[in-house]
Structure 1
Amino acid sequence: MAAGTAVLPPQTTSTPSASSSAAGVEVDINASLETILSEARQMAEKKDHHNLRQLIIDNRPKLLQVSKAKAAKMVRTLIDLYLDMEAKTGVEIQLCKDCIEWATTEKRIFLRQNLQARLVELYFTFGQFQDGIDLAAKLLDELKKVDDKSLLVEVFLHESRIYHALGNISKARASLTSARTTVTTIYCPPKLQAQLDLQSGIIHASEEKDFKTAYSYFYEAFEGFDSVSSPHALRALKYMLLCKIIMNQADEVKSIVSGKLALKYNGRDIDALKNIATAYHEKQLLVYKNYVQEYSDVFQSDPVMVHHLKKLYERLMEQNLCRVVQPYSTVHVRKVAELIELPEADVEKKLSQMILDGLLRGTIDQGSGVLELFQTDDKDKTYEAVLETIQNLEKVMTCLYDKSKKLTYLN
């Protein structure tokens, strides 16, 4: 090589890099996932549960091309869209089980746990309580080991609902307490916080009879559900109105439903509770009963509403019976039934219960069908007299004991 001659580097041809190609593939996959989500949301809006279910099944292979976290989020979103329609087609549990089986096969542990948490909720919705308790117990043990607090809160909440439905109030309250304790250490999405508030309100209203506190929880739940446009906002609003009726504040129902947030939920459900509130406020037992029957489609699907409406009916019946029998010392049960326009058998049963509970002082002669009421001043005061005597004797004995101690000291 001659002196002074420069050596040029070999020229290279420009080819697309592997990273650029991978980026392009990732963009295509993300675009495809966005398209799937868009189609799913449209189907959910149209309540097209059949095609949405098929969309979830058909697009599972595409999820193998993305990260496990992204795939889990995608499947959970699609399942949530399907279940939030609340179509109750009867295939929800099987669809969830199929997705769990797929996630297990593909070793998507996080996804499997998320789907199992939703399956616990489905077991509650469809009344398969024992299956829900068994799955929740296994899942809680697993989640505590990996310290997945967000999912722990969900499972505790569903477990509380199941125990409450079974009437095991102590365990329902314990599960709810665990959920509320755990949620203080993490960020809680508005929808989940609203679900916790709703369950807290239900337990305070149904078991502790603390309707003022329950109303506060229902109000918080209503605001939370409304902020995320959840259909459960209407349920929370109905519970708010129910609490006002139970607290003898039925006149506040109209002001609540005419508020800015509640105004858009006006419809048959709200009309039902407004009519119930009016009938209860005016002590119209028969009108109340007719409204409950007329709006049975609104109430029958909700065990909480059914429970409290039944209690309200019993309370209203007691008030009407006390008012009707008050002027009498002896009256035929048949006559009482005619005055309040209810079947004689129902009236006799209720009067007997009121006598046993001490709400009425009297007796029913079943042979003649006559209710005999005792005068209030005929109450036997023996118990109070004996109790007062014992208290006075105790004072005397204490006084004598003190004097004996002084005499002993002087001697």
Structure 2
Amino acid sequence: MSTSTPRPTLADAAAISKTDPRKAEQILQSILDTPAGDDEDALHDQEDALLKLGELYRDEANPTALAEVIKKSRTFMSSTAKAKTAKIIRTLIDYFSAIPDAQAAQIECTKDNIEWARTEKRVFLRQNLETKLAGLLIEAKTYREALTLIEALLKELKRLDDKMILTEVHLLESRANSETANWAKAKASLTAGRTAANSIYCPPLLQAQLDMQSGILHAEDKDYKTAYSYFFETFEGYSAADDGRALKALKYMLLCKIMLNLPQDVTSLIQAKLALKYSGKEVEAMKAIALAHQHRSLGEFEGALKEWKDELSNDPIIRSHLAALYDTLLEQNLVRIIEPFSRVEIAHVADLVGQPVQGVETKLSQMILDKVFFGVLDQGAGCLQVFDEPKEDETYTATLGTIKHVGDVVESLYEKATKLS
């Protein structure tokens, strides 16, 4: 009497996925190819097999195979609940993010699935994928295309009154507008997103994203105290979910402390229990900037920017605020250096501050125009002439007032003379 060979299972595939990925791939494909019918357990196994196969290709950094898995899964999706379908496809598309240089493939795959969802009249899935695509386009810095997609999506969502997706899309709209420096629209979009979120249960991670965007917009307005509060809420939200974005929120918290002229608070923040798990290069980079600011040292500041270039320059938010901080430090150093002089060579000032002559000359010119101090640049002699702050002559002000009154009297007499004639 012969016994049939037991069919390979998900557990078998998981056991050999690291040692023999090709064999694991065959097992997973066989599970997917076996008709499940109305068997709930078989359908559940196929769902898991689909995700495991996606993970396998993700770990192998194979975007082409991952895209093919998503395309082939559509037959399986036809027999799955529509809400579950959206979750599975979005999860599979998210796997692209872990593959280097796969952003273009991820966007193309998302667009392809949007077209399929449109053809199948799966409205919920299409809206979910279009929301995902908008986020991918923002990451790819294709802001015009992202905003066009968002505009069309918002019109549809407002009619359907789906508050959850509406919150997500308004948040994406705010992000896209802030990336293009359209701050007024970014604030309006965020307000609309928060209004939609207030009428539903907002998941913690979505709330953390809203808080992050609020912090970014307040920081842009130089309201670093309020921005810090939002970044702290974001940090707590991401930390509770063990989300990697908590590190970015922590960096923004440290940035706010530096911009508030409280660099000494950076050390105590870094040593806090919740922040200790995120210690590393990113945090050390912010600590170096804080020390340079505390010492009011342009040399230390430049040294930190060079030493921690990747950690400080890759984030546009940090890069922008540190550029403003550097400008402030340079201005403070220049004011301190020129204070004892009535006339000084620009080259000497540049030497003392450790900056190129041309850059110092440009900065001094800007400071004079902004009335940080009073003076004039003698470019022929290469010197800066510094003046005392001029005192307003009260006689001059009184004379102007008298002339104005005389003018009013003359005008009044002229009007009366015109009426008499």
Q: TM-score range by the shorter chain?
A: 0.7 to 0.9
Q: CA offset at residue 57 of structure 1?
A: 3.1
2:128 corresponding residue in structure 1: 114
Q: Are positions 1:181 and 2:191 aligned together?
A: no
2:363 corresponding residue in structure 1: 350
Once the two structures are superposed, the pairs formed by residues 326-365 of structure 1 within 5 Å of their partners are 326-365=339-378
Once the two structures are superposed, the pairs formed by residues 235-254 of structure 1 within 5 Å of their partners are 235-254=248-267
Distance 2:236 2:56 in 1: 26
Q: Are positions 1:213 and 2:226 aligned together?
A: yes
- SS of 1:364's partner is strand
Distance 1:83 1:123 in 2: 13
- SS of 2:104's partner is coil
2:111 corresponding residue in structure 1: 97
Once the two structures are superposed, the pairs formed by residues 227-238 of structure 1 within 5 Å of their partners are 227-238=240-251
Distance 1:193 1:136 in 2: 20
Amino acid at match of 1:172: A
1:283 corresponding residue in structure 2: 296
> 1:196 and 1:47, CA in 2 relative to 1: closer, same or farther beyond 3 A?
farther
Q: Are positions 1:167 and 2:178 aligned together?
A: no
Distance 1:151 1:164 in 2: 20
Amino acid at match of 2:117: A
Aligned counterpart for 1:127 among listed residues 129, 136, 141: 141
Distance 1:349 1:94 in 2: 47
Amino acid at match of 1:191: L
Distance 1:350 1:262 in 2: 38
1:17 corresponding residue in structure 2: none
Once the two structures are superposed, the pairs formed by residues 188-203 of structure 1 within 5 Å of their partners are 188-203=202-217
Instruction: Return 5+ residue gaps in structure 1 as ranges.
Output: 1-20, 395-411
1:140 corresponding residue in structure 2: 154
Aligned counterpart for 1:255 among listed residues 236, 251, 268: 268
Distance 1:140 1:181 in 2: 14
Distance 2:140 2:91 in 1: 21
Q: CA offset at residue 237 of structure 1?
A: 0.8
Calculate the aligned-residue CA RMSD, in Å. Answer: 2.6
Q: CA offset at residue 161 of structure 1?
A: 0.9
Amino acid at match of 2:231: F
Once the two structures are superposed, the pairs formed by residues 383-402 of structure 1 within 5 Å of their partners are 386=397
> Which piece of structure 1 moves more, 150-159 or 39-48?
39-48
1:409 corresponding residue in structure 2: none
Number of aligned residues: 370
1:304 corresponding residue in structure 2: 317
TM-score (norm 1): 0.84
Instruction: Return 5+ residue gaps in structure 2 as ranges.
Output: 1-34, 406-421
Once the two structures are superposed, the pairs formed by residues 5-84 of structure 1 within 5 Å of their partners are 25-40=39-54, 51-83=65-97
TM-score (norm 2): 0.82
Amino acid at match of 2:139: T
- What is the identity percentage for the equivalent residue pairs of Structure 1 and Structure 2? 42
Amino acid at match of 1:228: A
> Which piece of structure 1 moves more, 221-230 or 210-219?
221-230
Amino acid at match of 1:380: K
Q: What's the CA shift string for 1:346-388, capped at 9, x where partnerless?
A: 1111111111111121111011110011123xx1313797389
Q: CA offset at residue 44 of structure 1?
A: 5.5
Distance 1:48 1:270 in 2: 32
Q: Are positions 1:381 and 2:395 aligned together?
A: no
Amino acid at match of 1:138: A
Q: CA offset at residue 60 of structure 1?
A: 2.6
